[in-house]
Every structure is written in structure tokens, then in C-alpha cells.
Amino acid sequence: MRMTILALLMITPATFAQTNVPINAERAQSNYRLNCQGCHLADGSGLPGRVPSMRGFVGGFLSVPGGRDFLVQVPGSANSPINDADLAELLNWIVTTMGTEKAASAFEFYSEAEVKQSRKTVLVDVAQVRAELVSKIAILAQAGENAQ
């Protein structure tokens, strides 16, 4: 699987699909550069102490209740000028390229309808919601480590 993801990253302009949802990587990367890169940087590493890194972590949100909606509802996503279909594609691209291999392989892609619905909810205290989700992710990870 790792080789597959690496190959997809190397073929940037190609359109690829998983679970019948196409991602136009060129368009998704362009939307990332225009709407996310200013804060999260080109590689998703963020700004320590100011902007969280997405590298290897963004997929963790998909493992806890509310995390999937959170990725749509954070201000950078919810308030971006791109339409719901392009935001779904961008989030799918972010998770498959910046998430862990496990997250990318088990990931159910966002749909335009899901993004449209989730975007309707405005997060009042983003930092608090994120902290709660990160805590749940840590507990889940700890439980997984203890099970091994």
C-alpha cells in the first residue's frame, strides 16, 4: 500500500479514485496551495505552537466520533471560498497524502453532500473541540498499543 500511495503522489496531475470518488490531484493541490498552505505549509507540517501539523496525524480525526465533521468545520475548511465538491476532493486528497498509510487505506471518502451538510455547523470554540478530539485520539491509540 505504501508504494501505491507514493506512486500516486508522484503522478500529481492524474485523476485517481477510491471508493468511486475521483480525486483530481492537480486541482486538489491547487486548492491546497490557495486555501491551506499559507498556514499549514506546503508539506502540511504547520507552524509549531500556532498551526497544527497535518502530516501523519490528520487521519486520526477519522477514528473518533466528531472528527470527520471537524475536518470540514474548522474555519479554514468551512470558510474557504471553494464549493462543497472541491472541498470534499481537497479533504480526500489531504487524508490520502498527509494521513498515515492506515488512515488512507481504510478511509471512506467525503462526498459533496456530506461536506455540504457538515459545513452548516459552525464551530464556536475550535481549540476546545480540537483538544477534545485529540484527547480521544490519544486514548484510542493508547488502547491499541495496550492490545498489542
Query: Grid coordinates standing for 38?
Result: 499559507
Cβ-contact 23, 89 below 8 angstroms: yes
46-56 as b/e, with b when 16 or more CB fall inside 10 Å? Answer: beeeeebbbbe
| CATH number of domain containing 122 | 1.10.760.10
Please state, for a pLDDT cut of 70, what percent of the chain lies above it.
81
Each residue of 78-100: pLDDT tens digit?
999 999 999 999 999 999 999 87
Share the mean pLDDT of the chain.
84
What's the pLDDT at 145? Answer: 66
Q: What is the residue range of 9's domain?
A: 2-147
- Total domain count, the chain: 1
pLDDT in tens, 9-27: 333 333 333 454 679 999 9
Cα–Cα distance, 75 to 72 (Å, whole number)? 8
- Tell me the whole-structure pTM to 2 decimals: 0.81
